[in-house]
Amino acid sequence: MALIVQKFGGSSVADAERVRNVARIVTDTYKAGNDVVVVVSAQGDTTDDLIEKAQEINPRAPKRELDQLLAAGEQISISLLAMAIEALGYPVISLLGWQAGFNTNSVYGAARIKSIKPNRLQAELARHNIVVVAGFQGINRYDDLTTLGRGGSDTSAVAIAATLHADKCQIFTDVEGVYTADPRKVDGARKLKEITYDEMLELATLGAQVLNNRSVEMAKKYSVEIEVLSSLNPVPGTIVKEVAKLEKMLIRGVTKDTDVALISILNVQDTPGVAFKVFSKLSGKHINVDIILQSFGRSGTKDIVFSVSKENGPLAIELLKGLPALAGAKVLCDTDVAKVSIVGAGMETHPGTASKMFEALYERDINIKMISTSEIKISVIIDAKDADRAVSAVHAAFAPKD
Amino acid sequence: MALIVQKFGGSSVADAERVRNVARIVTDTYKAGNDVVVVVSAQGDTTDDLIEKAQEINPRAPKRELDQLLAAGEQISISLLAMAIEALGYPVISLLGWQAGFNTNSVYGAARIKSIKPNRLQAELARHNIVVVAGFQGINRYDDLTTLGRGGSDTSAVAIAATLHADKCQIFTDVEGVYTADPRKVDGARKLKEITYDEMLELATLGAQVLNNRSVEMAKKYSVEIEVLSSLNPVPGTIVKEVAKLEKMLIRGVTKDTDVALISILNVQDTPGVAFKVFSKLSGKHINVDIILQSFGRSGTKDIVFSVSKENGPLAIELLKGLPALAGAKVLCDTDVAKVSIVGAGMETHPGTASKMFEALYERDINIKMISTSEIKISVIIDAKDADRAVSAVHAAFAPKD
C-alpha cells in the first residue's frame, strides 16, 4: 500500500462530466489499495470569472480581498469532487487550504507555503477517507486567506507529498507528459520518459506550461518524484526526478515564451550603483527580472537592457521613470518579443550547442536581440512574429536523426 | 456614535451595480460617525446555482460537502462588497463566518449558532474598519464549515448585534417594511410603523417572507431592536421591538403560506402512545409539525391530521408508513392546501375576532379544513386555489374603516 498525491488542474474538473472522470481516476487508485490525497484547482474559467467580477467593481481591488474572493473557486471544486467520489460509494472528505493545515506568509496573490500542519490530513487518512484538498490556497498568521498565485495548486500537491512522505505525486494535465517541444506546433516533438528537476525547472520557467516552477523547486528540495500525465488518456506520462548525469549532451526540449517585455534604458550616466538602484527598485515591487544586458553607450554613458513579464512592463517603466539616478536616460519598453530556449543537462560541456542553435536561426533569417546562457539552457530574445518558426528550426536542428 | 449592524440579502447584492448601491448605504452610515458591521448573503441566485451543480453530480450529496460548497457563495459576495467599499475610499475588511467567530453545532444545512467569539470583530472595529461578514455560515467543533439554512443571514446579523450590543440591527430587503398583507396582491395593505417580536414571529412563521423566524426569536431573547427597510428606497421601515401591550385589539397582518402539506393518518388503533410515536419519529428527523388535529374515527380508531412543510411531506409519509404502531392505518398527503392567518396582539381577549374571520371566508364560499388559534394568531387551512381570495377577504374585514 502506497500513499499517492494526485493533482488535477482546472480544465480536468471544468464540468460535471469531467469531475466524474476525475472521481473515477481517484477511486481506481484507492481501490487498488492506496491512500489517496487529491489536490484540485478551481473549475475551468472560475478564477478568471471571479477576477472579472472584481475588476468590474474595483480595478485596484485590495489583494487581501482578491484572495478571499479567489479562494472560493477551489472551495466549489473540492466539494463537488467529494460529492462525485461519494456517489461512486467511497469514503471521502474535502478540506480547504486552512483545514488541510496550509500556513503561508502574507504576500497576498503570491504567498509562499511556510508549513503544513499534517494533523487533519493524517487523521482523515487514518479514517480511510480519500482526502480532497483545495490547491492554491492557505492562511497567514492573521487567519486571513491567501493564494499562492497561478499554478499554485502544483505547489500545494508537492508540498503535501513532501510533508506526508508520499510515494508519488501525480500531476494530471491535458497533455500526456513533457515534450521536447509543443506537439501541436512542432513536427517530431517527442514525449520524454523522464527528466531531471533542473531540466524541468528550466522548461517550466521558460514557458512550457506543464508544471509550475515553484512546485519543481520544492520537489527537488524534498526529493518528491513527480509524474506528469493526462487526465483524459491513461498512458504513462513523464517522470520528473533526480537521474544520473548523462555523458552525452541531450536536448530535453525547445520552448517558446511570449510573456516577455524588453525594457531598454539608454544613455544612463555611467556612475557606480546605477544598476543596483534600478534592480533593487524593481525587486522591491516583486518584479522578477530575467535576462540582463549592459553595454557601453556613447561617451560616458551606458545602456541597460533586461526582460520582465509582459504584465510587469508598465509598472517597471513607471518605477524607472521616477528614479533620480536615471535622469536624462531614455526608458523604452518593447512587448513585441518572445524568448526561445533550448534546455538540456550537460550543455556547458558542449560548446557547439550554442552555435548550432544560432546557426539554425540564422538560416531562417531570424534576428537575435539578446542571448542568455546557463549550465542547462540557452535562451534568445527575438521578434514575437518569428517565435514559432524559430522553435521549429531549433527543434529540427537538435532532433535525433532516426 | 453608535454601532449599527446592517444586513443585505442576496437580491440586494445581485450584480455590480447593486453591490455599489449597498456600498453607498454602508459608507453613508459610517460617514455619519457610526461603527458599522455589514452582513451579506450570497449574490442573487448563487446558492440555487451551486445546489444545481451539486444535484447534477450527486442528488444525495453529503450535507457536510453541501455546506462546504454553499459557503463559497457568501465568500464571493463579502469580498466583492469589501472591494466596492474600498473603491469609495473607506477602510474595510471582509470576514468569513469562522473568521468572524461564528461557532455552530454540527447539523449541516440547518446549524444553530452556539457562540460568537467577538475578538476579531472587535479588533477590526477598533481599527476603524467597516467589517463585512459572511452571513449564513460558521464552523463546528471539528473546524468544518456549516450553514444555518435558508434565511440564516438574518440570524447571523441579529447574533452579531446581540454579541456586540449594537444599537440597532437594520435588515435591508426589497420591500419597504412589514405590511398588513402582501401589498402586491391586497388592496389597502398598509406598512406597519412598529410591531412586537411575538407578532413578527407569527408573521414570519406564517409565510410573510420578510424576516427569518429564528432571527426574530433571537432578537426577542437578547432585546435587539430590528428595523426592516428597503435597500432601494430610502424611507423609514418597520421597527420590530417590545412595545407596551395595546388595549385595543389590533390586527397586524394577514398572511398566506402555500408551503404546507396536510398529512392525514386515518383509522389509527386508539391505543396510548400512538401520537407520541408519530411525532417523536418526525422530530427525530427534524421535521417540524405545525397544526395538529386529532379526532375519533370509526369504532375504536382515531384520525390524526397535521401539517408540515411541503418539502418534508414525502419524508414524513415514508417515516410513518414504516411505523408498526400505524399498522392498518391509512396515511395520506395533500399538498394542494394553503394556510391563511391573522396576527395581532390582544387577540385572546377579543373572542369576536375568530368568528369575524370565519364569516369573511364563509361569505366568499371558502371551505375551512383545519383551524388553529394561539394568543396572537388565528390560522386556517384551506384549498390552495382559494388562498389569494381568502387573504383579500380577511384583510378587508379587518381593515380600519377610514
Q: How confident is the model over B155-210, as pLDDT tens digits?
A: 999 999 999 999 999 999 888 888 888 888 888 888 888 888 988 888 776 666 67
Contacts of A61 in chain B (CB under 8 A): 83, 86-87
Q: How confident is the model over B66-86, as pLDDT tens digits?
A: 999 999 999 999 999 999 999
Instruction: Lowest mean pLDDT of A72-76, A187-191, B28-32, B378-382, name the range.
Output: A187-191
Q: What are the residues facing B6 on neighbouring strands?
A: B38, B170
| Residue A298: per-residue pLDDT | 60
Q: How confident is the model over B103-150, as pLDDT tens digits?
A: 999 999 999 999 999 999 999 999 999 999 999 999 999 999 999 987
Q: How confident is the model over A309-355, as pLDDT tens digits?
A: 898 898 899 889 888 888 888 898 999 999 999 888 766 666 678 77
The closest alpha carbon to B345, from B219, B190, B237, B197, belongs to B197
For residue A299, what pLDDT band results from cuts at 50, 70 and 90? low
In this complex, do B64 and A93 lie within 8 Å of one another by their Cβ atoms? Answer: yes
Q: Which of A56, A83, A99 sits opposite B65 (nearest CB)?
A: A83
Which residue out of B40, B49, B80 would a mutagenesis test of the A interface target, given it has the greatest number of A Cβ atoms within 10 Å?
B80
The grid coordinates listed for B400 are: 380600519
Q: Does ipTM come in above 0.85?
A: no
Contacts of A66 in chain B (CB under 8 A): 79, 83
Q: How confident is the model over A9-25, as pLDDT tens digits?
A: 999 999 999 999 999 99
Q: What angle do CA A95, A101, A104 make, to 5 degrees?
A: 120
Q: Which of B19, B57, B76 sits opposite A50 (nearest CB)?
A: B76
Q: How confident is the model over B43-57, as pLDDT tens digits?
A: 998 999 999 999 999
Which residue out of A68, A69, A86 would a mutagenesis test of the B interface target, given it has the greatest number of B Cβ atoms within 10 Å?
A68
CA distances, A56 to each of A50, A60, A61, A105, A150 (Å): 10, 10, 10, 28, 21
Do residues B131 and B38 touch, judged by C-beta distance below 8 A?
yes
Is the pLDDT confidence value at A401 over 70? no
Longest dimension (CA), chain A: 77
**HEC per residue, chain A:** CCEEEEEECHHHHCCHHHHHHHHHHHHHHHHCCCEEEEEECCCCCHHHHHHHHHHHHCCCCCHHHHHHHHHHHHHHHHHHHHHHHHHCCCCEEEECCCCCCEEECCCCCCCCEEEECCHHHHHHHHCCCEEEEECCEEECCCCCEEECCCCHHHHHHHHHHHHCCCCEEEEEECCCCCECCCCCCCCCCCECCEECHHHHHHHHHCCCCCCCHHHHHHHHHCCCCEEEEECCCCCCCEEECCCCCCCCCCCCEEEEECCCEEEEEEEEECCCCHHHHHHHHHHHCCCCCCCEEEEECCCCEEEEEEEECHHHHHHHHHHHHCCHHHCCCEEEEECCEEEEEEECCCHHHCCHHHHHHHHHHHHCCCCEEEEEECCCEEEEEEEHHHHHHHHHHHHHHHCCCC
In this complex, do B69 and A80 lie within 8 Å of one another by their Cβ atoms? Answer: yes
B325 compared with A153, residue with greater pLDDT: A153
| Residue B247: per-residue pLDDT | 45
Contacts of B72 in chain A (CB under 8 A): 72-73, 75-76, 79
| Residue A163: per-residue pLDDT | 96
- How many other CB atoms are found less than 10 A from the CB of residue B141? 10
Contacts of A78 in chain B (CB under 8 A): 68
Do residues B4 and B35 touch, judged by C-beta distance below 8 A?
yes
Residues of A with CB under 8 A from a CB of B: 16, 19-20, 50, 53-54, 56-58, 60-62, 64-66, 68-69, 71-73, 75-76, 78-80, 82-84, 86-87, 93-94, 96, 99, 120, 143-145
How many whole angstroms separate alpha carbon B329 and alpha carbon A69?
54
Do residues A163 and A120 touch, judged by C-beta distance below 8 A?
no
Q: Which of B57, B79, B86 sits opposite A80 (nearest CB)?
A: B57
Size of interface A-B (CB pairs under 8 A): 109
Q: How confident is the model over A191-231, as pLDDT tens digits?
A: 888 888 988 888 776 666 678 888 998 999 999 999 999 99
| Residue B24: per-residue pLDDT | 97
In this complex, do A16 and B56 lie within 8 Å of one another by their Cβ atoms? Answer: yes
Q: What is the pTM of this model?
A: 0.76
Contacts of B53 in chain A (CB under 8 A): 16, 76, 80
In this complex, do A58 and B19 lie within 8 Å of one another by their Cβ atoms? Answer: no
| Residue A271: per-residue pLDDT | 75
Is the pLDDT confidence value at A165 over 80? yes
